[in-house]
Amino acid sequence: MCDGETQVMKALTPRALLGLVVSVVGAIGFACLADAAEEGDGLAAFDPQLTADFVARRTPSLTDVAQGISFVGNVPVLLLLTALVALGLWIRTRRWQPPALLALGMGGAGALTYILKVLIGRHRPGAGFVLGPIDTGFSFPSGHTLSSTVFFALLAAIVWSAEVRRTSKIAAVVSAVVLSLAMGMSRIYLGYHWGTDVLAGWIVAVTWLCLLASVTQLKHGVDRGL
């Protein structure tokens, strides 16, 4: 075994290995869900009823909340928020690695959304379900859900690594989970996505985050070994 391979094996900590395992499991889960979405069976068979249940529970107040949450997941908004957070990180740390990692995470989320939507090519629910402008793009996975989940999770990771109180760290993680769930449900409520589109968005987001975390852990481990 060469020196490079030896350094990688030494850097493969249990945490990095766990991230890689979760990434593989997530990829398999997404593939199974994509097959169900294409065939209309499995979990995808429940999509029409789930959409109908959300539509039946619409109220003016809930619609306002859902539209507000969904607005945050729009590409221009996420791009602006990412740029502001990246700038803030650089000003605070004077290091390029944290903002670069944030940019890589969000860039990867955007690329995955585009590629997977084109590959799967699933159509959205009918226009009659939609509350808002009609989106003619493909549906699977939900881009709002995927990208916002990655963004909220990276924000929580930034807070967790900062020198703040433990209660603040826990609050950041809980907020990230709640906001990610709310984003996904808002997309179903507003009629833009099927339930399995949203579930796929969460799965891909977690898979990408775990892969990113594992690679970062490996890089740090190798760098320490040099």
CB 116 within 8 A of CB 27: no
pLDDT digits (tens, 9 = 90+) for 184-217: 999 999 999 999 999 999 999 999 999 998 888 7
| 3 state SS of 169 | helix
Nearby residues of 93 by Cβ (< 8 Å), 6 or more positions away: none
CA angle 106, 108, 111 (to 5 degrees): 110
Confidence of residue 180 (pLDDT cuts 50, 70, 90): very high
Task: Compute the distance between CA of residue 83 and CA of residue 8 in angstroms, rounded to an integer.
Answer: 32
pLDDT digits (tens, 9 = 90+) for 124-139: 998 889 998 888 899 9
Q: Strand (E) positions, the chain?
A: none
User: Among 152, 169, 133, 166, which residue's Cα sits nearest to residue 206?
Assistant: 152
**Tell me, what's the pLDDT at 219?**
62
